[in-house]
């Protein structure tokens, strides 16, 4: 098993490195390697991945005993939902691109229609695959499936890399353009430089449909990058689950459901934050993308963050304290989904935290007493603090046993032996049968037979007794929880996590749709130099956006299991 | 435990980010943040780490029950030896620096004597700590010790980062200087630009001692970077081992020893490779650091690699095949040292592989038919292949049970029960005592008492029986191994790993002491642009050097356990 993982990992690594080298070459040497070359490479990879997915859907998964087990933790509904949502936006994006290219067919090559078509096909098939098979623990053709999955992961990573570098290159061109415009005091007629760069060669005819395609392309672009990353994480979990055998009593018998009842302050506070945030964002966008962004808009933007971030941090700290007060059992079972969640949370936070530290050093070294600078300084410090406290809160919450399981078990009527029996269908039978043999035997023979029987019997008896003890303890705990003083803790946890969900959504929306004050305020840019700060933002910003989105998933999980 | 790890990890992350931001600021904005500021920050960190180490040595480790267990895998002799070796070179380096500053005291600040003194103190104390305590599994003051260790790791990482960026900045200045020199067709009197940059302000008096200090500084510089990384990896293992309890029968009772007997071809071939390599290296250094490096020297350099790398790859592939043929049991016990080794091998190889892919794309996009270019192309492809095959070979070898244990067990006289008894001192006792109780009991009472006793007894009996069976199987296997056809496999493994050790040593020496053809051949530099290629090399080269050093350690382990 290890060998298969190693080889498929090496395959993915080589593909990713080759692709990264291609993309970097395209960025730094436009002449030798063009965007078309990169697209050809990516299309080959997409077609290969597509072939494997189709083979899996029609061949591997229909083999007998191919999928004996399902990992109940993998692919929760909101992950699969976001795959569908982002996938459909990405398809729309490609449709717009095809339409745009079709209008300007006279000055564009036909290839610019072919590539998006392959992309649409790839997105559709992959979304279908992930919707139906994200929980599979595949038991046949291990190594071939591993390689196929790793190839698909590598393709998605490269698509993300291309989208991110392209996106930030736009940002760079855009900002340079604006400077030029500012100098000449002209208007800003183009809002999307990638397209406008082309319009110097072939202008978009002044029809509504062409403008719609342009605007839609700009608006939908961020969803594509998120789609690639989400697919990567789901595919990774499937890859981890290959060949895994899940014993039956690990499967939780009741799924916690998403219920809104009982929470008031969290949604209210969160909705207020979202509404104010949208207002701030729109004012920022109107002012900052205009020809002359002034300091006031930055002051407003940072003030909003400085009010919101401490609230979020305090919420997360209170949540962590409540987690510590509540003496729930920790869930220590193997769970690739959760391990990945934790790694992604910590890894994605690094982008934001790194950027903040760079800002802090830049401000402290220049002039921390200026109003705007002190605002940025406190914003950066608070952001680090917020990221860390929120991570601790989410990771803590993910490792707790879901509460619902205990309360629901109480409602089933016969909480004790009955629950155990239904939980352990296979093992219980063997345990009772060996017990029966045991009592039928004459006491003289027992000495000889005991050796072999005990080996199986006593283990299982111990397991079922432990399980019974735990079950009784759980049920009594749940009784205490529901009817006494502990109830406020659950409610507080739900309020806090709901509030944090809404806050993270607004903090996700703002950078996704184009508010990049860290680039536009010009402070760090002048301190580190244009290209260095650009590289730092290029690394940190996409990770920060992904962090917010991923936090929302983690917080929803905490909300449901609280 | 998880919480403690999380918090100390977060502490280290914040320190590393703050330090990185400082160092980057120094690089990109010399005016606001100077090297002195970075040194002040690092000195504070060093003093804090020093305080913790001294507290650990005098306080924590002397508490009762502080160190109950020792991890036999952690801190093998060659790791601790290299800590001492690199540590003493680093001390020498600092002594040279103090001497150099003392000679030029009239134009240098006193601080340049204070900082190296703190550094010497830090290196000495840390080396002492790692030599004596690298195997500890600390059982008291978990969280404080974790934070102390993480602080020390972060300090070492930052020292490495500073050394690497400083080192490569030297390279950059050096290469720019050489170009200037070439243009003016002058001589190249300065070989170390960092010092020569200062000599523009205050010239080194023309005494021998000053020249010795200069030359020694240049020569010893690479050892300092290696020292920091080795310390980090050892400290990480200690951190992982905090609070770990090792059961006694996991401790291997015989340590494999390093013996040279029985290998001939490996050392011979390896020594040949080393001698030729040194000749090539010296010719390269004389030619390439001269005023006009010509193509011939690059052709020679790359040809050497193109001959050597396939040999190494073939060796590693044969070794992997032999590993597969030899049906040895895999060692699946928990072992933080080995997990770290595997991660470091894979991670450090990424640097080299990434650089190679960038080279490949650059060459294919420009002119792959040129002689030098085709040489570089095959060099890059072979390097990727060699890295991957060697990694697979080492990882495979590290996961096998040492062979020596089985053969030595045969020599102890009573291979069967006796070995088990000596292996399981604690468990064997309880198993026999419960057996005695068992036989003394009347058969009527047995039914009631069985429940509780069986729980402990049958597990242990099964363990000991399994152990006995394995032991017998091991001994008989070892017998077959030693006296029949299997012996050639062990010998081949030893020959291969010895050959690879020597090859990796020469491949480590060449880049460490200044052969950077990837930078000096100018091909990729002109393709990607100066600063981009500089950043790639800056990331890849130090990792590549560390990879070679770490491979030597892994291969020695494979040699000893083969």
Residue A62's pLDDT band (boundaries 50, 70, 90)?
confident
Q: Do A353 and B14 touch (CB under 8 A)?
A: yes
Residue A85, min C-alpha distance to chain B (Å)? 34
Q: Do A22 and B366 touch (CB under 8 A)?
A: no
Say if strands A136-138 and B136-138 run parallel, antiparallel, or are unpaired: unpaired
Q: Which of A29, A350, A443 minimises the CB distance to B443? A: A443
Matching residue, tokens 């992309």: A119
Residue B310 lies in a domain: yes
Average pLDDT of chain B is: 78
- For residue B394, what are its two tokens? 């080492």
Residue A265, min C-alpha distance to chain B (Å)? 29
Q: For an interface test with B, give the residue of A11, A36, A452, A458 to mutate (most B CBs within 10 A).
A: A458
Q: What is the pLDDT of residues B177-209, one digit of tens each?
A: 555 555 554 433 333 333 334 444 566 666 778
Distances (CA, A) of B30 to A524, B195, B202, B348, B452: 14, 17, 20, 30, 73
Contacts of B21 in chain A (CB under 8 A): 354, 357-358, 360-361
- For residue B426, what are its two tokens? 């604690």
Residue B411's pLDDT band (boundaries 50, 70, 90)?
very low
Q: Mean pLDDT, to the nearest integer, of B483-512?
A: 83
- For residue B159, what are its two tokens? 């020292």
- Asked which of A4-18, A135-149, A452-466, B273-287 is least confident by mean pLDDT, the reply is A452-466
Do A92 and A220 contact (CB within 8 A), yes or no? yes
Number of Cβ pairs < 8 A linking chain A and chain B: 114
Same structural domain, B228 and B319? no
pLDDT given at position A256: 58
Same structural domain, A26 and A82? yes
Do A55 and A138 contact (CB within 8 A), yes or no? no
Q: Which of B20, B366, B388 minimises the CB distance to A32? A: B366
Same structural domain, B307 and B179? no
pLDDT above 80 (res A436) = no
Q: Mean pLDDT, to the nearest integer, of B553-558?
A: 89
- Asked which of A297-306, A354-363, B2-11, B433-442 is least confident by mean pLDDT, the reply is B433-442
- For residue A408, what are its two tokens? 């629901």
Same structural domain, A330 and A277? yes
Interface of A with B (CB under 8 A): 2, 6, 10, 13-14, 17-18, 20-22, 24-25, 28-29, 32-33, 350, 353-354, 357-358, 360-362, 365-366, 384, 388, 392, 395, 399, 443-444, 446, 451, 454-455, 458-459, 462, 527-529, 531-532
Q: What is the pLDDT of residues B329-382, one digit of tens each?
A: 677 777 888 888 888 899 999 989 999 999 999 998 888 888 889 999 999 999
Do A109 and A34 contact (CB within 8 A), yes or no? no
Residue B52's pLDDT band (boundaries 50, 70, 90)?
very high
Q: Do A13 and B358 touch (CB under 8 A)?
A: no
Question: What gap in Å lies between CA B311 and CA B504, rounded to an integer?
Answer: 12
Q: Mean pLDDT, to the nearest integer, of B426-449?
A: 41
Question: What gap in Å lies between CA A322 and CA A162, rounded to an integer?
Answer: 43
Distances (CA, A) of B280 to B276, B301, B509, B542, B545: 6, 6, 12, 21, 18
Strand, helix or coil at A136?
A: strand
Matching residue, tokens 């039978």: A429
Q: Which of B388, B443, B532 minimises the CB distance to A10? A: B388
DSSP B248-311: GGGS-SS------TT--HHHHHHHHHHHHHHHHHHHHHHHHTSS---HHHHHHHHHHHHHHHHH
Question: What gap in Å lies between CA B287 and CA B498, rounded to an integer?
Answer: 31
Count other C-beta atoms under 10 Å from residue A312's C-beta: 23
Q: Is the dihedral of CA A467, A473, A477, A479 positive or negative?
A: positive
- Asked which of A429-443, A545-559, B134-148, B251-265 is least confident by mean pLDDT, the reply is A429-443
Q: Which of B10, B354, B365 minimises the CB distance to A17? A: B354
Contacts of A459 in chain B (CB under 8 A): 458-459
Say if strands B67-70 and A67-70 run parallel, antiparallel, or are unpaired: unpaired
Residue A152 lies in a domain: yes
CA atoms within 13 A on the CB side of A35: 11
pLDDT above 70 (res B238) = yes
Domain residues for A84? 1-185+204-245
Same structural domain, B495 and B542? yes
Strand, helix or coil at B136?
A: strand
Q: For an interface test with A, give the residue of B458, B459, B466, B535 to mutate (most A CBs within 10 A).
A: B458
Beta bridge partners of A330: A400
Beta bridge partners of B69: B137
pLDDT given at position A136: 87
Question: What gap in Å lies between CA B54 and CA B198, rounded to an integer?
Answer: 37
Residue B112 backbone dihedrals phi, psi, to 5 degrees:
-70, -5
pLDDT above 80 (res A254) = no
Residue A413 lies in a domain: no
- Asked which of A96-105, A264-273, B228-237, B306-315 is least confident by mean pLDDT, the reply is A96-105
pLDDT given at position A68: 80
The CA-to-CA distance between both ends of chain A, in Å, stands at 36
Contacts of A40 in chain B (CB under 8 A): none
Contacts of B468 in chain A (CB under 8 A): none
Residue B48, min C-alpha distance to chain A (Å)? 21
Same structural domain, A391 and A359? yes
| Closest among A381, A357, A366, A254 to A309, alpha carbons compared | A381
Q: For an interface test with B, give the residue of A361, A523, A531 to mutate (most B CBs within 10 A).
A: A361
Q: Is the dihedral of CA A487, A489, A492, A496 positive or negative?
A: negative
Same structural domain, A312 and A348? yes
Q: Do B354 and A20 touch (CB under 8 A)?
A: yes
Burial class (CB in 10 A: 0-12, 13-18, 19+), B64: exposed
Q: Do B24 and A360 touch (CB under 8 A)?
A: no
pLDDT given at position A197: 42
DSSP B419-472: HHHHH-HHHHHHHHHHHHHHHHS-HHHHHHHHHHHHHHHHHHHHHHHHHHHHHH
Q: Do A358 and B21 touch (CB under 8 A)?
A: yes
pLDDT given at position A534: 79
pLDDT given at position B106: 75
Same structural domain, A307 and A212? no
CA atoms within 13 A on the CB side of B516: 26
Contacts of B13 in chain A (CB under 8 A): 350, 353
| Closest among B129, B220, B111 to B512, alpha carbons compared | B220
Between B172 and A305, name the one with better pLDDT: A305
Residue B173's pLDDT band (boundaries 50, 70, 90)?
low
Residue B421 lies in a domain: no
Same structural domain, A359 and A225? no
Residue A320, min C-alpha distance to chain B (Å)? 11
Count other C-beta atoms under 10 Å from residue A25's C-beta: 23
Residue B461, min C-alpha distance to chain A (Å)? 9
Residue A553 backbone dihedrals phi, psi, to 5 degrees:
-60, -50
- For residue B385, what are its two tokens? 């292949």
Residue A226 lies in a domain: yes
For the complex shown, is ipTM > 0.95? no
| Closest among B162, B181, B140 to B19, alpha carbons compared | B162
Instruction: Kindly report the pTM of this predicted structure.
Output: 0.75
Do A185 and A194 contact (CB within 8 A), yes or no? no
Residue B363, min C-alpha distance to chain A (Å)? 10
Same structural domain, B241 and B343? no
Burial class (CB in 10 A: 0-12, 13-18, 19+), B521: buried
Q: Do A14 and B529 touch (CB under 8 A)?
A: no
Same structural domain, A367 and A513? yes
Q: Mean pLDDT, to the nearest integer, of A464-481?
A: 60
Q: Is the dihedral of CA B530, B536, B537, B542 positive or negative?
A: positive
Q: Which of A18, A388, A454 minimises the CB distance to B357? A: A18
Residue A338 backbone dihedrals phi, psi, to 5 degrees:
-70, -40
Q: Do B22 and A395 touch (CB under 8 A)?
A: no
Matching residue, tokens 């992959």: A126
Q: Which of A25, A360, A392 minimises the CB distance to B365? A: A25
Residue B261 lies in a domain: no
pLDDT given at position A273: 94
Residue B451 lies in a domain: no
Contacts of A399 in chain B (CB under 8 A): 2
pLDDT given at position A258: 63
Q: Do B17 and A395 touch (CB under 8 A)?
A: no
Q: What is the pLDDT of residues A190-226, one digit of tens each?
A: 333 333 344 445 666 667 787 777 777 777 877 888 8
Burial class (CB in 10 A: 0-12, 13-18, 19+), B180: exposed
- For residue A97, what are its two tokens? 């691109």
Strand, helix or coil at B137?
A: strand
CA atoms within 13 A on the CB side of B429: 3
Q: What is the pLDDT of residues B3-29, one digit of tens each?
A: 888 889 999 999 999 999 998 888 887
User: What is the count of structural domains for chain A?
Assistant: 2
Do B266 and B497 contact (CB within 8 A), yes or no? yes
Closest A-chain CA to B443: A443
Between A526 and A123, name the one with better pLDDT: A123
CB neighbour burial string for A157-188, b if at least 16 within 10 angstroms, e if fewer: bbbbbbbbbbbbbbbbebbeebeebeeeeeee
Helix spans in B137-207 (H): 142-184, 193-199
Same structural domain, B215 and B302? no
Q: What is the pLDDT of residues A68-118, one digit of tens each?
A: 888 877 878 888 888 999 999 999 999 988 888 888 777 777 778 889 999
| Closest among A230, A82, A241 to A156, alpha carbons compared | A230
Q: What is the pLDDT of residues B58-97, one digit of tens each?
A: 988 888 888 888 887 788 888 888 899 999 999 999 998 8
pLDDT given at position B35: 83
Residue A352, min C-alpha distance to chain B (Å)? 11
Q: Do A528 and B28 touch (CB under 8 A)?
A: yes
Strands (E), A103-166: 136-138
pLDDT given at position B511: 86
Q: Residue A229, by phi and psi: left (phi above 0), alpha (psi -120 to 50) or beta?
A: alpha
Q: Do A354 and B446 touch (CB under 8 A)?
A: no
Between B211 and A45, name the one with better pLDDT: A45
Q: Which helix (H) or strand (E) holds A454?
A: helix A443-483
pLDDT given at position B417: 38
Q: Do B462 and A443 touch (CB under 8 A)?
A: no
Say if strands A67-70 and A136-138 run parallel, antiparallel, or are unpaired: antiparallel
Q: Do A366 and B32 touch (CB under 8 A)?
A: yes
Residue A218 backbone dihedrals phi, psi, to 5 degrees:
-65, -45
Residue B311 lies in a domain: yes
């Amino acid at each position: 098993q290890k060998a298969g993982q190693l080889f498929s990992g090496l395959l993915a690594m080589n593909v990713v490195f080759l692709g990264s080298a291609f993309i970097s070459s395209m960025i730094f040497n436009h002449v030798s390697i063009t965007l078309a070359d990169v697209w050809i490479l990516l299309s080959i990879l997409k077609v290969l991945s597509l072939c494997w997915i189709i083979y899996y859907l029609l061949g591997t998964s229909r083999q007998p005993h191919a999928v004996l087990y399902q990992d109940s933790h993998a692919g929760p509904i909101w992950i699969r939902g976001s795959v569908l949502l982002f996938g459909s936006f990405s398809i729309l994006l490609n449709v717009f691109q095809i339409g745009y290219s079709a209008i300007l067919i006279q000055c564009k090559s036909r290839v610019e229609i072919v590539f998006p078509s392959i992309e649409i096909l790839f997105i559709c098939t992959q979304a279908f695959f992930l919707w139906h098979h994200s929980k599979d623990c595949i038991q046949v053709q291990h190594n071939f499936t591993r390689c196929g999955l790793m190839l698909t992961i590598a393709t998605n990573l490269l698509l993300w890399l291309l989208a991110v570098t392209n996106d930030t290159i736009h940002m760079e061109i855009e900002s340079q353009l604006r400077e030029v415009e500012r100098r000449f005091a002209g208007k800003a007629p183009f809002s999307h430089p990638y397209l406008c760069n082309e319009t110097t060669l072939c202008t978009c005819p002044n029809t509504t449909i062409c403008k719609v395609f342009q605007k839609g392309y700009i608006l939908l672009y961020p969803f594509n990058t998120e789609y690639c990353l989400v697919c990567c994480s789901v595919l990774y979990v499937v890859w981890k689950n290959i060949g895994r055998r899940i014993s039956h009593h690990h499967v939780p018998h009741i799924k916690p459901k998403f219920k809104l009842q009982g929470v008031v302050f969290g949604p209210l506070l969160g909705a207020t934050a979202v509404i104010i945030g949208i207002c701030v964002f729109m004012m920022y966008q109107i002012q900052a993308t205009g020809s002359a962004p002034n300091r006031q808009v930055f002051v407003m933007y940072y003030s909003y963050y400085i009010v919101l971030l401490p609230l979020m941090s305090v919420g997360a700290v209170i949540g962590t304290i409540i987690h510590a007060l509540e003496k729930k059992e920790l869930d220590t079972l193997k769970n690739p989904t959760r391990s990945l969640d934790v790694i992604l949370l910590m890894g994605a936070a690094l982008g934001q935290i790194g950027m903040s530290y760079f800002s802090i050093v830049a401000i402290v070294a220049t002039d921390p007493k200026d109003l705007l600078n002190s605002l940025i300084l406190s914003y950066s410090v608070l952001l680090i603090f917020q990221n860390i406290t929120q991570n601790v809160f989410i990771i803590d919450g993910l490792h707790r046993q879901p509460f619902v399981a205990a309360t629901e078990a109480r409602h089933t009527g016969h909480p004790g032996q009955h629950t155990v029996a239904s939980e352990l269908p296979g093992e219980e039978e063997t345990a009772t049968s060996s017990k029966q043999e045991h009592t039928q035997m004459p006491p003289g023979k027992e000495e000889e037979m005991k050796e072999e029987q005990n080996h199986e019997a006593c283990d299982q008896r111990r397991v079922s007794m432990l399980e019974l003890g735990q079950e009784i303890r759980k049920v009594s705990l749940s009784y205490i929880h529901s009817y006494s003083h502990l109830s406020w803790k659950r409610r507080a946890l739900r309020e806090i996590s709901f509030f944090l969900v809404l806050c993270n959504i607004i903090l996700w929306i703002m950078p996704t749709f184009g508010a990049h004050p860290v680039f536009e305020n010009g402070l760090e840019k002048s301190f580190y130099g244009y290209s260095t700060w650009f590289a730092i933002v290029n690394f940190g910003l996409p990770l920060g956006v992904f962090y917010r989105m991923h936090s929302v998933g983690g917080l929803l999980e905490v909300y449901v299991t609280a």
